[in-house]
């Protein structure tokens, strides 16, 4: 929901970033306030996933110019784990398998790390068990998945649901969903979307990064941004997504004379 006087959670200004010396982001700006749902759409290679990784603090990406403020802190000065503790969350496009680490132990360690950062009590395994069994209902993930190694042998849909479980456990201020719809069948898409909608509230914000309009039928955005060549070239409401679906991206690129539109 849009509340013009809601506090700003994330403020990206003129962000440039490169990987292996190749510039990918070329002056991207975006303001996200509490309660808002943003969608960033764009063709392959426009830099969508780079934006997600840069914000989450992936070491392979180098920020060459610009600034990012997150809850009044300089996000770019923080390590990846400090960003997570401050309340930033990235749902991975390709969640990583970690054989030998149980999902439950991983979730508990992550939860307790964040709890300490927030000045809250840690949960012991029994307390956490009660908590997690409540949280996994958000995406209907069977409890048996908690005993398995993190993402190991999970189907594509199960991995994406596990990402949303982590979001539910960590309760972030800003969640970036990187291509969360990719690889999901329609039922899984509904389940995941319902989970995200349950977690969305007036205090937090969601940024969906997606290639297709399909996800936006289930998680309705307040803003749709079009990304091309490392910048946001157009911003509109949810109807812009439908226009993109029917007309593609090319018409925008040809008239991309409005750089950094926010």
- Nearest CA-CA partner of 67 in 54, 53, 48: 54
- Rounded CA separation 106/253 (Å): 43
- Rounded CA separation 236/171 (Å): 28
Q: What is the DSSP string of 107-120?
A: HHHHHHHHHHHHTP
What is the token pair recorded at 160? 């994406």
- In the complex with other proteins, the residue whose CB is nearer, 171 or 242, is 171
- In the complex with other proteins, the residue whose CB is nearer, 84 or 252, is 84
Q: Does 56 bind other proteins (CB under 8 A)?
A: yes
Q: Does 90 bind other proteins (CB under 8 A)?
A: yes
What is the token pair recorded at 31? 């303001």
Binding pattern to other proteins, positions 135-164, x when CB under 8 A? Answer: --------------x---------------
Quick check: 63 and 54 in contact, CB under 8 A? yes
Residues 6+ apart with CB under 8 A from 188: 157, 160, 161
Q: Does 121 bind other proteins (CB under 8 A)?
A: no
- In the complex with other proteins, the residue whose CB is nearer, 56 or 244, is 56
Q: Does 98 bind other proteins (CB under 8 A)?
A: yes
Q: How many residues bind other proteins (CB under 8 A)?
A: 27
Q: Does 99 bind other proteins (CB under 8 A)?
A: yes
Tell me which DSSP letter residue 138 carries: G
- Nearest CA-CA partner of 215 in 88, 41, 56: 41
Instruction: Count CA within 13 A, CB hemisphere, residue 241.
Output: 24
State the nearest-atom distance from the C-beta of 100 to other proteins, in Å: 3
Binding pattern to other proteins, positions 164-203, x when CB under 8 A? Answer: --x---x---------------------------------
Q: Which of these ranges, 3-11, 31-39, 112-120, 222-230, lies near other proteins under the rule CB under 8 A?
A: 112-120
Q: Which residues bind other proteins (CB under 8 A)?
A: 56-59, 79-81, 83-85, 90, 92, 95-96, 98-101, 106, 109-110, 113-114, 117, 149, 166, 170
């Amino acid at each position: 929901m849009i509340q013009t006087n809601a506090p700003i959670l994330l403020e990206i200004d003129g962000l440039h970033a490169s990987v292996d010396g190749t510039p990918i982001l070329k002056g991207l700006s975006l303001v996200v306030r509490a309660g808002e749902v943003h969608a960033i759409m764009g063709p392959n290679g426009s830099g969508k996933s780079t934006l997600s990784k840069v914000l989450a603090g992936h070491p392979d990406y180098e920020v060459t110019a610009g600034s990012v403020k997150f809850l009044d802190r300089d996000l770019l000065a923080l390590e990846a784990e400090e960003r997570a503790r401050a309340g930033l969350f990235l749902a991975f496009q390709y969640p990583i398998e970690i054989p030998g680490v149980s999902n439950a132990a991983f979730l508990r360690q992550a939860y307790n790390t964040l709890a300490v950062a927030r000045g809250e009590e840690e949960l012991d395994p029994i307390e956490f068990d009660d908590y997690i069994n409540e949280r996994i209902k958000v995406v209907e993930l069977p409890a048996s998945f908690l005993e398995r190694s993190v993402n190991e042998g999970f189907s594509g849909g199960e991995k994406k649901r596990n990402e949303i479980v982590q979001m539910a456990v960590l309760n972030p201020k800003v969640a970036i969903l990187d291509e969360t719809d990719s690889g999901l069948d329609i039922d899984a898409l509904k389940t995941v979307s319902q989970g995200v909608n349950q977690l969305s509230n007036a205090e937090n914000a969601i940024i969906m990064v997606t290639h297709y309009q399909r996800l936006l039928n289930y998680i309705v955005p307040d803003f749709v941004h079009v990304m091309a060549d490392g910048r946001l070239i157009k911003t509109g409401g949810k109807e812009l997504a439908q226009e993109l679906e029917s007309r593609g991206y090319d018409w925008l690129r040809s008239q991309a004379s409005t750089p950094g539109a926010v």
